[in-house]
Structure 1
Amino acid sequence: MKNMANFGKVSDHSGTEADVVPLSEAVKVWARVAALSFGGPAGQIAVMHRIVVDEKRWIGEHRFLHALNYCMLLPGPEAHQLAIYIGWLLNKTLGGMIAGLLFVLPGFVSILALSYIYVLFGNVTVVEGMFFGLKCSVLAVVVQAVFKIGSRALKNGPMVGLAAAAFVAIFFLHVPFPLIIVAAGVIGYLGGRTGTSAFRVGGGHKAGAGKILEDRDSLLGEDIPSHAAPNLAWSLKTSGALAALWLLPVAGLLLALGQDNVFSQLGVFFSQMAVVTFGGAYAVLAYVAQEAVQGFGWLRPGEMLDGLGMAETTPGPLIMVTQFVGFLAGYRDPGNLNPIAAATLAAMLATWVTFIPSFLWIFAGAPFMERMRGNAALSGAMAAITAAVVGVILNLAVWFGLHVLFREVAILKLGPLWWDVPVVSTLDWPSLILTLISALALFRLKQSVITVLVASAVLGVAWKVLS
Structure 2
Amino acid sequence: MVQSEIKPAPGQPLSQRLAELAKVFLKLGTIGFGGPQAHIAMANDEAVVRRQWLTSEQFTEGLAVCEMLPGPASTQMGIYIGYVRAGQLGALVSGFCFIAPAFLIVVALAWGYFRFQGLPQINDIFLGVSPVVIAIILAFCWKLARKTLKDIAGMGIAIAIFILTLTTAINVLIQFILAGLVGLWWFRPRGTDSPIRNWWIPPMPLLLAHLPADTLTLSSFWGLERIGEFLLPLTTFFLKVGSFIFGGGLVIIPLLEFEVVEQLHWLTQTEFINGVAIGQLSPGPVVLTAAFVGFKVAGVLGALVSTIAIFAPSFAFIMLAAPFLLRARKNPWIQAFLKGVTPAVLGAIAAATLPLLRTTLAQPTLFYSIMSGVMGLLALVALIRYKTPTWLLVPLGAVLGLIVGLLPT
Normalized against structure 1, the TM-score is what? 0.73
- Aligned with 1:380 (options 316, 328, 336): 336
Return the alpha-carbon distance in structure 1 between the equivalents of residues 106 and 326 of structure 2: 37
In structure 2, give the amino acid aligned to 1:68. L
Return the alpha-carbon distance in structure 1 between the equivalents of residues 330 and 184 of structure 2: 13
Structure 2 residue 51 is the aligned partner of structure 1 residue 56: yes
Equivalent position of 1:416 in the other structure: none
Equivalent position of 1:461 in the other structure: 402
Residues 328-362 of structure 1, C-alpha deviation per residue, up to 9 Å, x if partnerless?
Answer: 123xxxxxxxxxxxx11111111121112221121
Return the alpha-carbon distance in structure 2 between the equivalents of residues 168 and 430 of structure 1: 30
* 1:255-294 correspondence to structure 2 within 5 Å: 261-294=229-262
Equivalent position of 2:86 in the other structure: 91
Equivalent position of 1:353 in the other structure: 309
Aligned length: 370
Equivalent position of 1:139 in the other structure: 134
Equivalent position of 2:209 in the other structure: none
* 1:33-48 correspondence to structure 2 within 5 Å: 33-48=28-43
* 1:219-234 correspondence to structure 2 within 5 Å: none
State the Cα distance separating 1:130 from its structure 2 match: 1.6
The alignment partner of 1:428 has SS state of helix
* 1:68-467 correspondence to structure 2 within 5 Å: 68-195=63-190, 261-330=229-298, 343-407=299-363, 428-467=369-408
Structure 2: gaps of 5 or more residues: 1-7, 195-224
The alignment partner of 1:374 has SS state of coil
Q: Do the aligned residues in 1 keep the contact of 2:134 with 2:353 (CA within 8 Å)?
A: yes
More moved, 373-382 vs 39-48: 39-48
Residues 177-223 of structure 1, C-alpha deviation per residue, up to 9 Å, x if partnerless?
Answer: 111111121222234433389x9xxxxxxxxxxxxxxxxxxxxxxxx
Return the alpha-carbon distance in structure 2 between the equivalents of residues 20 and 63 of structure 1: 23
In structure 2, give the amino acid aligned to 1:453. V
> Taking structure 1 as reference, are residues 172 and 368 closer, same or farther at Cα in structure 2, changes over 3 Å only?
same
Equivalent position of 1:335 in the other structure: none
Return the alpha-carbon distance in structure 1 between the equivalents of residues 156 and 60 of structure 2: 29
> Taking structure 1 as reference, are residues 260 and 402 closer, same or farther at Cα in structure 2, changes over 3 Å only?
farther
> Taking structure 1 as reference, are residues 371 and 444 closer, same or farther at Cα in structure 2, changes over 3 Å only?
closer
Residues 44-81 of structure 1, C-alpha deviation per residue, up to 9 Å, x if partnerless?
Answer: 22222232223333212221121122122322222111
> Taking structure 1 as reference, are residues 443 and 196 closer, same or farther at Cα in structure 2, changes over 3 Å only?
farther
State the Cα distance separating 1:426 from its structure 2 match: 11
- Aligned with 1:8 (options 7, 10, 27): 10
> Taking structure 1 as reference, are residues 440 and 192 closer, same or farther at Cα in structure 2, changes over 3 Å only?
closer
State the Cα distance separating 1:19 from its structure 2 match: 5.3
Normalized against structure 2, the TM-score is what? 0.83
Q: Do the aligned residues in 2 keep the contact of 1:139 with 1:401 (CA within 8 Å)?
A: yes
Q: Do the aligned residues in 2 keep the contact of 1:76 with 1:278 (CA within 8 Å)?
A: yes
Return the alpha-carbon distance in structure 1 between the equivalents of residues 228 and 23 of structure 2: 43
State the Cα distance separating 1:290 from its structure 2 match: 1.9
More moved, 353-362 vs 427-436: 427-436
List 4+ stretches of structure 1 deviating above 4 A: 17-21, 257-260
In structure 1, give the amino acid aligned to 2:394. L
Q: Do the aligned residues in 1 keep the contact of 2:26 with 2:98 (CA within 8 Å)?
A: yes
State the Cα distance separating 1:20 from its structure 2 match: 12
In structure 1, give the amino acid aligned to 2:388. Q
Larger Rg: 1
Q: Do the aligned residues in 2 keep the contact of 1:21 with 1:90 (CA within 8 Å)?
A: no
> Taking structure 1 as reference, are residues 259 and 92 closer, same or farther at Cα in structure 2, changes over 3 Å only?
closer
Return the alpha-carbon distance in structure 1 between the equivalents of residues 312 and 158 of structure 2: 30
Structure 1: gaps of 5 or more residues: 1-5, 10-16, 200-256, 331-342, 409-424
State the Cα distance separating 1:270 from its structure 2 match: 1.4
State the Cα distance separating 1:401 from its structure 2 match: 1.0
State the Cα distance separating 1:33 from its structure 2 match: 2.0
Q: Do the aligned residues in 1 keep the contact of 2:76 with 2:95 (CA within 8 Å)?
A: yes
State the Cα distance separating 1:22 from its structure 2 match: 3.0
Equivalent position of 2:216 in the other structure: none
Return the alpha-carbon distance in structure 2 between the equivalents of residues 294 and 196 of structure 1: 44
Structure 2 residue 22 is the aligned partner of structure 1 residue 27: yes
Return the alpha-carbon distance in structure 2 between the equivalents of residues 281 and 179 of structure 1: 19
Q: Do the aligned residues in 1 keep the contact of 2:227 with 2:302 (CA within 8 Å)?
A: no
Alpha carbon RMSD of aligned pairs, Å?
Answer: 2.8
> Taking structure 1 as reference, are residues 444 and 71 closer, same or farther at Cα in structure 2, changes over 3 Å only?
closer
